[in-house]
Structure 1
Amino acid sequence: MPDNFEIAYLWVFWLLPLPLLIFWLVPPLRLRSESLGMPGFDKMASYTNEKPRRAALVRRRNFLNWVMLMLCWLLFLAALASPQLVGEPEKKVKTSRNFLVTADISFSMAREDWAIDGRKSRRWDAVKNIMHDFIEKREGDRMGLVFFGSNAYIQAPFTPDLKTVDQLLGEADVGMAGQMTRIGKAIKKGLNMFENDTIETKVMLLLTDGGDDGTDILPLDAADMAKKDSVIIYTIGIGDPDVAGSDLDEQTLIDIAELTEGRYFRAKDEQELAEIYDELDKLEPIEYEEEQNKPVTVLYHYPLAGAIGLLLLSSLVSPIFAFVLNKRREAYV
């Protein structure tokens, strides 16, 4: 019997002895039948001092009838008890936050110093390869995309349609926003997106492999604005700052994260970036709420069909069984 099998109304089986109680407590049904008139019957009764009584025929059921009726009663009770298969309570994903991915697609992200499946790859291709899995896991969040270089632009507004977000991520490529790195401008563009939404929990993921080249708005000024708007910023530095030619400004990314109560991560390769995404899943877990209703598959129709089938079979077999008994009695006589 499966573990998820349940009987909804177990108390119904307390009715199992009910037919026996009725049999013992309720008098049998007496059927009147026509009789022959006998002349002088009253005179004969007076001679014998016997008082005539009313007579009735009480029909007796054979053993087979009793067995089938008891099985039918048991099956009817089983149907009434409502056997069912009950699944686990369904969990509904709570849409609890806006999650904005702000990614650097300046020319430096085209460096082929990362690897995908053991082959050399551009940093941006490796980032996209892992980000696809990350987006898929964020079910329940409303996600958006902002890409930046010399300028920042919205690739995907906040939406729960993660397939569309993933598709728009795949369409972006290095150089589409210019060759420079304007981190402050990217954060400000993300804040503009948060301002037009009512969800209170706001999370920004900022990925870059360079330092800020802009003069419009400084990264820490933009981070201070994010703090006032209760936006948490997690920063990821792409590459190794100790390698010659790296422009990664780790200290600025650390300061942005600390100012907004986020965290800074460094990703030197694809494996480290995947581990960072796993850590982000723990820091910002998907929230579920348990539904009250459970998926239920009712099974009452099986015992009910069995009971009806037995009744039909009994109605067919009983006359045949009675006929055979009568024949045997006649032969014996």
Structure 2
Amino acid sequence: MPANFEIAYLWVFLLLPLPFVVYWILPSLRIRSASLRLPTYEKALGYTGEKPRKSAFVRRRGAFTWIVLMLVWVLVLGALSSPQLVGEPEMKVKTSRNFLIAADISFSMAERDWGIDGEKVRRWDAVKALMHDFIQKREGDRMGLIFFGSSAYIQAPFTPDLQTVNQLLEEADVGMAGQMTHIGKAITKGVELFDKDTIETKVMLLLTDGVDAGTEILPLDAADLAKNDSILIYTIGIGDPSGVGVDLDEQTLQEIAEMTGGQYFQAKDEQRLQEIYAEVDKLEPIEYEEEENRPTTLLYYYPLGAALGLLLLLMFFQSLFQLIRNSRDGRKEASYG
């Protein structure tokens, strides 16, 4: 992720002329030191007629010292200004919808007319295998599971824990909800589950391979309840209606989808079902939002370290020059002696 260089407190550099202001305003620092009294001092005053005056010796710094000190000051201000590398805001998955899967597990889903890796398997095993992948990709959605047959029951209430949803899906099997297909009951149970939650966006994915056999509530009446509750229903018909052993009411599934603003898909085989899941992913994409905090790397220690390094270097050279000067003065005194 690219990062931009930024200075948090640019106004700090307004303090750049502060050392010069202090130098001009404040007087020189006076330090008392021992002086040498000449025995002929009074005689010299009498010969010259001068009056004794107080005086001070102003030690002047060389150009090298001034340059180093100014660099140190600039670097200190650079550290105080808090330079930093600021990255782009990170994106996180936004929890924006409740997504309910209502799957038919009546006895007809045990028909072995679907193929996986060249072998005939039960319709439910093929559907379940692809449904695992679909659920795993729905990061950010709160997923729920309803299984239906003669009755409809909640296998998983809405939760962001997709791993748990997948585990509960794996534990379900054909016949656990009875042998018949009651689509109306499944939709009604879904409406009840949505009513208990507060998230406004509600999506249901209804999978079945049969014809509704219920008399208590008709599928279209249940779909009307879902429509009034703003629930979008995508319906998937499992199997080929023209094939042997397939009793699929496509017209009802189409009407359910149209009433609620969804879409009907017909899955003849495993490959087509996988394509349908991909289409649903596009119709109901995962939403993202920016993190409030952007990743920031502070860089103040670089100019601060450079300032300390320059000060140590200056002290080293000053000590070295002082040693050289003392050594030279010592040699001169020795030669005079």
Deviation at 1:219, TM superposition (A): 0.9
d(CA) in 2 for partners of 1:148 and 1:329? Answer: 105
Q: Deviation digits for residues 62-115 of structure 1, max 9, x if unmatched? A: 566445434432331221121223232134444332211101112322333334
Residue of structure 1 equivalent to 2:292: 292
Q: Is the contact between residue 3 and residue 88 of structure 2 (CA under 8 Å) also seen in structure 1? A: no
* Amino acid paired to 1:199: I
* Amino acid paired to 2:273: L
Residue of structure 1 equivalent to 2:221: 221
Deviates more, 1:254-263 or 1:173-182: 173-182
SS in 2 for 1:145: strand
Residue of structure 1 equivalent to 2:33: 33
d(CA) in 2 for partners of 1:85 and 1:136? Answer: 35
Residue of structure 2 equivalent to 1:187: 187
Deviation at 1:205, TM superposition (A): 0.8
Residue of structure 1 equivalent to 2:201: 201
Q: Is the contact between residue 105 and residue 175 of structure 2 (CA under 8 Å) also seen in structure 1? A: yes
State the TM-score, normalizing by the size of structure 1: 0.85
SS in 2 for 1:143: strand
Residue of structure 1 equivalent to 2:281: 281
d(CA) in 2 for partners of 1:198 and 1:70? Answer: 63
1:95 counterpart = 2:95: yes
* Amino acid paired to 1:283: L
1:320 counterpart = 2:314: no
Deviation at 1:255, TM superposition (A): 0.3
SS in 2 for 1:58: coil
1:176 counterpart = 2:176: yes
Query: Superposition pairs for residues 1-333 of structure 1, below 5 Å?
Result: 3-13=3-13, 15-16=15-16, 18-19=18-19, 28-37=28-37, 44-45=44-45, 48=48, 50=50, 52-61=52-61, 65-66=65-66, 68-117=68-117, 119-328=119-328, 331=331
Give unmatched runs, 5+ long, in structure 2.
none
The number of residues matched between the two structures is 332
* Amino acid paired to 1:249: D
In structure 2, the CA distance between the partners of 1:68 and 1:120, relative to structure 1 (3 Å rule), is farther
SS in 2 for 1:222: helix
d(CA) in 1 for partners of 2:34 and 2:77? Answer: 39
Q: Is the contact between residue 184 and residue 217 of structure 1 (CA under 8 Å) also seen in structure 2? A: yes
* Amino acid paired to 1:228: N
Q: Deviation digits for residues 168-199 of structure 1, max 9, x if unmatched? A: 11211222222222111111111221222233
Identity of aligned residues (%): 69
Q: Is the contact between residue 205 and residue 233 of structure 1 (CA under 8 Å) also seen in structure 2? A: yes
Q: Is the contact between residue 32 and residue 57 of structure 1 (CA under 8 Å) also seen in structure 2? A: no
Q: Is the contact between residue 100 and residue 143 of structure 1 (CA under 8 Å) also seen in structure 2? A: yes
In structure 2, the CA distance between the partners of 1:227 and 1:34, relative to structure 1 (3 Å rule), is same
In structure 2, the CA distance between the partners of 1:31 and 1:252, relative to structure 1 (3 Å rule), is same
In structure 2, the CA distance between the partners of 1:147 and 1:48, relative to structure 1 (3 Å rule), is same
SS in 2 for 1:245: coil
Q: Is the contact between residue 33 and residue 56 of structure 1 (CA under 8 Å) also seen in structure 2? A: no
Q: Is the contact between residue 103 and residue 146 of structure 2 (CA under 8 Å) also seen in structure 1? A: yes
* Amino acid paired to 1:222: A
d(CA) in 1 for partners of 2:10 and 2:131? Answer: 52
Deviates more, 1:199-208 or 1:303-312: 303-312
Q: Is the contact between residue 4 and residue 85 of structure 2 (CA under 8 Å) also seen in structure 1? A: yes
Deviation at 1:45, TM superposition (A): 4.5
Deviates more, 1:122-131 or 1:230-239: 122-131
State the TM-score, normalizing by the size of structure 2: 0.84
In structure 2, the CA distance between the partners of 1:65 and 1:191, relative to structure 1 (3 Å rule), is same
* Amino acid paired to 1:126: A
Q: Is the contact between residue 5 and residue 85 of structure 2 (CA under 8 Å) also seen in structure 1? A: yes
